[in-house]
Structure 1
């Protein structure tokens, strides 16, 4: 390359082309002809020297030189208690030494001899990761934090780490991710979100949650969401306001945004595996194709990006004639090996096994399903908050003998925390509560479930029994068990381990929201817990400052819990009992009209209070006066045993079943020495 001041442009020769400085700048900006912006630094440097100006003018030169001479591996320190934000991000994304080396090799392979990655080469890369073409410009702008029109290796490394499906959306990684999300939706790159840009965020969150994106409803929800930031529809949202609102949990759902359809780590390892196969070029690496090295350049030919075959409903994995009419089948998302003890080994995502002998090249998996099934990915991510909590609870459950004690874990008895820092436990539980509440508020107040389904009654802080249930019913975890699980409430009070029970159930709910279902019982009420033990337990375990905070966070989840469920449209499941016909005609459809959240059920919803507290009456010791009262009130009388709500007779039950076209009622609320009791024919 030569820089010259010419009055007339010489005649072009083969392989030689003259550009003005303005044309060169335009060529780099538009991603045509010249593939990297360091050329502009050389032009600026030469122009500055000819005019006598300073040769330290702004530009990307400093970045380029640093990128060339600096280390490309970020070794994460193991001996430092607090990691820097970018170190926490790389660790959360599991982009460690090996993965960073592979990514740097990929960067050089695509960009050499340039020091930057331009948009066209970035577009080819994210196309290989499964991103739709329409998202490429927004992704590029999101990663180009310096707005230089090109990406350094570090830009690419940290950007892809933020997009990884396994990167947690909590702590320092969450703030970094939110910065990328902000730039992604800031279409005009003016450093603020206009109302239309913020509406797109709300729309995408609702779409990922499977909620309506009707225009009128979307506008209403967007206006309501904007108010939590203190912004109206005519205003804009700054980055600071956005980070503050998300950080204070005023605006939820951003964890669903900006997730890569395929893990970059798996993509890089697949390329390495393909390069190491017999027949690959010498050196064990795939030689760069001209289309990769000189893509979209008028001086070089291009064969375009790789095209991947997708499996659709009429593809090789689906058959219109197979199975029941209108039923579609899809492959599971993971392959696992299991020990006889139930421990999972070698967990692999199915799409991470592409290009291996397991998944042939002619059977590419649908990339869209990777977005839709992020929850399955999270379930097998051992670094996720719910899995971290479950691992901690396994330590709590097991004894540590004196001869086993080493390092930070001293000897301890089973079902004790030993010398575990309770503040760390409280912080993790608070984060889990915030996440699980987001799920619970979206569920109907009356769940509709399908069999097979295990139904479990009161637990009351008995973590030992809960562990027994796990080992008997879902030893491999709910996700790998071919059934769903329904808990009927009363998780806390009386027993010593209400905190651990809640932590366990909430963690499993996060991992399997469609298989682990939690109903509300009468002890999921603040006033009851103040009378019993759960409030005191939280204060005892976490102190007078953090304890009440944990207690309130748990109860905010209780406030949003569903109140009843119906299995196979026939079996009504509830904590307490059936409602009297004097409340909404005794129809269970009215349950879905109960407000959510419901912090004061006794005053806010008579229906909720009844189904949380009601009991069947034992007909063996009923006086003639009581029988008359039951006949006059459709089988219901005041609940003299509990001092609130009602009791109901077998006749009241039969009418309830007939009225709602049900066959049985399954309830908890009362201890049964044999584990269960068939009270009447349908109860």
Structure 2
């Protein structure tokens, strides 16, 4: 690529304002000979980025002699460490920068992408930066990786190009007007009056997208694909807290007195930049740091609008038992007939009115249950997060007995079931999972216990899948079902004491403000959950709200030091409450389960391959058994494993894409953002440094219970006496 000849050259002026968020205006031409020269990214910038790259990159073995690379997890940690972008942008940034689509970033890919996304890189329309940035921007917004910008993706481009903030109605009108101006509406629609028609929209490809930008038909793209802070430049800092001076007329002001031009921050973890002020961490104001951490959460999950529907709380109550029995008839069939979702994606398990009836009946049953359940005794099955993955739930039922009273196939006559929450969002079939679980609760209220997890919160599930799934799959009555489900969530308990020895926590973390179980017991149902940005209550009630905020808000985003207790604090909490352990499902262990903090914190996840991450994860449930009242309580994990190039035992469909087979979309909606912070469990070793027992892949089945004698999982037993510390 060479610069256009015969055009008037324009000087390129780059703002020197520290952490500038408004990129330079688009210019018609450039005198540069390549992209990096035009972007003014030289040896110093390359060296600075390489230093950061090496700090987080996965190191290759000496034997392979391969270059170091950033995996998605490495990339996430790096961008979060340097506060470079919002959490919602991690996945699209990684995909756009991964030019060769191999799922990892070498340094050259990372350098090119970081320069293109730098807030100070110019955006020259008909030159190197304009073309490269257009390519990156297209890939960033092409969420479904189709090679075209579908209507929803194009609407996001229009939203981010617009200077004023537009409401939903105004944005949709603006999108169709822009599509008409760009020739992206069919001729028959352009001649008529109807413009708001999705079927008439023609998705542009990457070449067309650059043409729109280079011909200035699509304006405002200089703001797109921009990091919030630079990665390629060192940032100077004064030694004391001083107000950062503003540049005047684009001229950089001299350093403050007592500061030198080469005084740089070696690691951003040593200092915090809040509203132009630099503080040592020991001196930084707590509230400023908390605000800085809260903002990504509000960008990702804003406050959900309140329910505006009048809900009939007695709807279908007389028929709820019969509806539940009809739904669960499929559990008695060997192939779960009637419970398998149709291939066309429609929802056929129950009607919208049926779900409302199940919600009303379940809410009545759970309303009178204590906020901390105490009736649960071994034997128990404990299920972790399911996230709408109906195949995994049915797989657990297939390989570990079913929740029926049929002898030989079911175990409900003697076994109790405890579900730890996170039933919805992320996966494809939240409605099926919830319908089955609510039906089980209605039919067997004393055997089935449903706790409230992180996603049983309207501020979360309004944005992460449940609302959208209801609208897509239910049609008329969709919002009534969505609101009835959330009303049911408000009647779920927060925790369960299992046999007086272990505490199961629905929200999934032992928060720093939770000191005793009485704090949970005093909440009353229905329990409405707060949002970090909502108006705080009176001082007397703030502590009560703080417990809920810490339980249901990702800890990495709520407080600077995190609100989840560390190992010694969890051990102390168990000792004070006379507990052997806490069982939680907030984090996702790679093996489906984990015994952490000296076996005081037991983690379990019951869905396979959460968020479709490349690293993947197995799924597990926990058996909690006790031979007699005098014997120890034993926790035995039961694991499900799904493997590439195999077929699902229920549908015959391939579970994962292979080189010879087109990818199969196992989720709806497709995941377009990074996992919520704190969900992934990074370490794969116990406290002694020994790795968790590896799991041998079975070669004869795609989904299987690991019962092979050659595969051993740790079994945890607790003596009858309570721990003393």
Normalising to structure 2: TM-score of the pair? 0.34
Q: Which has more helix, going by share of residues?
A: 1
